[in-house]
Amino acid sequence: MNKYMDEQRQLLSLIWKFHCVLNTAWPKPDVPEMAGSSVFIGTNLFKALENGLGQIEQSFHSFQSQRREELLPFWNAFNHLFSILKKQNRSEKSTRIDEALNLLYLASGVFYHRIKEISSATLETDPRLTGVEDIPTLLKICKWTGATTASEMESEIIEKMNTVAKQIS
């Protein structure tokens, strides 16, 4: 196996893990019991997401793809929204924070699928574990009403992440 393929698998694996951990804190739309996700800010779970984000960043910047530059704006918006989110008051029950976490959940899934599209790597995962949903399922559970393919969604999600980051900062 070549180094290039290993790097692609590593990046996919890190994004997959981030998405799975985020699933725990993710405020499922239309499920009132899941509202108030700000309580996760500052917890060990949130710290695990923060550490995962750093690992993804390192892996992404060493990702050997000619198309990495086209994904850079998406990554930057994602990273920025997470950075703004971690500064929020965990005791404030905020629909904006719930919206930001929902958007990060959607974006991490889309990012995973975009990396799969532009690379030749595949990731073997245990089907019994929660993983990254396929795009139609991801769109449905996150209540996304915009574009419907990962590549078409990029610019819409970037814009939305930047808007939400401004609203909660």
Residue 143 tokens, joined: 């209540």
Average pLDDT over residues 76-102: 92
In the chain, the number of structural domains is 1
- Give the domain range for residue 77: 3-168
pTM of the prediction? 0.91
Whole-number pLDDT of residue 87: 93
Chain segment 92-106, per-residue pLDDT in tens: 888 889 999 999 999
